[in-house]
């Protein structure tokens, strides 16, 4: 987890995404390679909460696509821990929704990774409500228009995760303007 400490230290400096981009990218690559396999433990039995704010602030802002992809991958990995998901809060979810909303103008290669972040975020029921409150559903559904099967699969996974919570199922039915039975069919296709 030394990579994460270094990433956060680099991000804390002024104009970090510009001045320290190469170092940040290097550390993020090391981190994502070390924890690419979801079965691999990140914490070695340590349930400490990781500092997500610098990463969430970075992905909230408009950044280069390569840095956005890596940032989303790091966040996705960190959100495997229930403690990190529980600590996201409304402000953290808002950062993810802003990154997702940028995909409305042009679906980029970072869209699939952002969709995966939404999926991991929404394993927490409170985060589903925050996601819905911050109008995250329309840009997530917009990803289904992509020609990239990875983006579509990521969006469908996130939608399925949202459907595990009652208010999520209701919101998707309302957004899609279909009945409960029809929504169940669409979500599982």
DSSP reduced 3-state for 107: coil
Longest dimension (CA), the chain: 52
Q: Give the pLDDT confidence of 130-149 residue by residue, as tens digits.
A: 999 999 999 999 999 999 99
**Interhelix angle 65-78/53-60, nearest 10 degrees:** 140
Q: How confident is the model at residue 43 (pLDDT cuts 50, 70, 90)?
A: low
Sign of CA dihedral 19, 23, 26, 28: negative
CA 34 – CA 32 distance, rounded (Å): 5
CATH fold group of domain 2-39+50-188: 1.25.10
Q: What are phi and psi of 42, to 5 degrees?
A: -90, -25
Domains in the chain: boundaries: 2-39+50-188
Distance, in Å, from the CA atom of 85 to the CA atom of 81, rounded to the nearest integer, reads 7
149 vs 18: CA distance, rounded Å: 31
pLDDT for residue 116 is more than 80? yes
Instruction: List pLDDT tens digits, range 67-94.
Output: 999 999 999 999 999 999 999 999 999 9
Q: Do residues 117 and 96 lie in contact, with contact meaning Cβ atoms separated by under 8 Å?
A: yes
Which 3 state secondary structure label does DSSP give 35?
A: coil
User: What would you report as the CA-atom Rg of the chain, rounded to the nearest whole angstrom?
Assistant: 16
The length of the chain, given as a count of residues: 189
Higher local confidence (pLDDT), 1 or 126 = 126
Nearest residue to 24 via CA among 67, 78, 63:
67
pTM of the model as a whole: 0.87
């Amino acid at each position: 987890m030394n990579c994460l400490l270094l990433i956060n230290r680099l991000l804390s400096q002024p104009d970090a995404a510009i001045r320290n981009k190469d170092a940040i990218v290097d550390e993020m690559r090391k981190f994502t390679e070390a924890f690419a396999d979801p079965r691999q433990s990140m914490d070695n039995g340590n349930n400490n909460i990781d500092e997500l704010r610098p990463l969430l602030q970075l992905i909230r802002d408009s950044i280069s696509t390569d840095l956005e992809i890596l940032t989303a991958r790091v966040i996705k990995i960190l959100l495997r821990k229930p403690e990190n998901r529980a600590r996201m809060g409304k402000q953290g979810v808002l950062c993810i929704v802003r990154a997702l909303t940028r995909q409305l103008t042009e679906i980029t290669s970072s869209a699939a990774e952002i969709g995966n972040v939404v999926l991991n975020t929404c394993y927490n029921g409170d985060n589903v409500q925050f996601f819905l409150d911050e109008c995250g559903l329309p840009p997530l559904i917009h990803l289904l228009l992509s020609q990239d099967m990875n983006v579509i699969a990521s969006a469908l996974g996130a939608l399925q995760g949202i459907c595990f919570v009652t208010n999520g199922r209701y919101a998707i039915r309302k957004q899609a303007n279909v009945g409960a039975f029809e929504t169940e069919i669409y979500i599982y296709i």
